[in-house]
Amino acid sequence: MSVAFHEPPGGVRLPRRVRPELLDALPADDPRAVRSRRDLRMLNRIMGTRSLLLRALDGALTAPPRGIVELGAGDGRLLLALARKRARRWPGVHASLLDMRPVVAPDTVAAFRALGWPADVVAADVFDWLARPYAGDDAVIVANLFVHHFEGERLERLLAGIAARARAFVCCEPRRGWLPLAGSHLLGLIGCNEITRHDAVLSVHAGFSGDELSAAWRRALPRGAGEWRLHESAAGAFSHVFAATRA
């Protein structure tokens, strides 16, 4: 395995702390949840999440994927944005949008299909989904603002399940550090609602820095699981990107 990670120097690291976030407990049709999902789409644009994930995928893949699964897909619009940038180079990819409580609109599914990407919405707990029988290990799995919800044994169980199914895994998570924490306290200035402002602070505290995901990946995989190329780095001012590719 090889690991590359880069982090701005200086300062004391924040300890990692995972706490439940408000958006996960709200009904999908609660007006505050609807507004918070809109805030998250805006924040993804500001942080360049689509470009970060595309760059990581381009670095991880040597051939077009046959299928992409997004964990914690929410409304599915981020994966749709990726599809719009890669549909010509990656024709006919099967898109699976997995979430415990997906809120994918019919026109989002139709937009995937218009690009030539068949799409399905999977309502399932991620661990239940990973435990289902699966014949191959050729899926490409992506996640955004999802992995930071897990710690300890649950994090390692998540990564082990992904490794058993995937030929590549890419995620973009909050970067745990003082600058992202300061930014999370200022989201009211750009109009984010109380749910987004509360959860953003918790997300930074639960985020990653250094080579923490690479270390968790190594702990999670049993002996004989094969070789993986790992890359992990700070990305921009607020994000942390991890990629694992089966060697």
Residue 12 lies in a domain: no
How does pLDDT run across 157-189, given as a tens digit for each residue?
999 999 999 999 999 999 999 999 999 999 999
- Angle (deg, nearest 10), helices 77-86 and 106-114: 10
| The pLDDT of residue 11 is above 70 | no
Report, in angstroms and rounded to the nearest whole number, the Rg of the chain calculated over CA atoms: 17
pLDDT at 228: 95
What is the tally of structural domains in the chain?
1
Q: Which DSSP letter does residue 102 get?
A: -
Instruction: Render pLDDT for 82-111 as a digit per residue (tens, 0 to 9).
Output: 999 999 999 999 999 999 999 999 999 999
Residue 228 lies in a domain: yes
Query: What percentage of the chain carries pLDDT values higher than 90?
Result: 88
Confidence of residue 136 (pLDDT cuts 50, 70, 90): low
Show the domain range for 98: 22-246
Choose between 192 and 223: higher pLDDT: 192
Domain containing residue 41: CATH number: 3.40.50.150
Domain membership flag for residue 7: no
* Residue 231 CA: distances (Å) to CA of 78, 96, 103, 183, 228: 22, 24, 31, 25, 10
Q: State how beta strands 228-235 and 166-174 pair.
A: unpaired
33: left (phi over 0), alpha (psi -120 to 50) or beta: alpha
* Residue of higher predicted confidence among 2 and 54: 54
**pLDDT, greater one: 225 or 222:** 222
3: pLDDT strictly greater than 70:
no
CA–CA separation, 129 and 112 (whole Å): 22
Any domain includes 10:
no
pTM for this one? 0.92
What is the Cα–Cα distance from 192 to 198, expressed in whole angstroms?
10
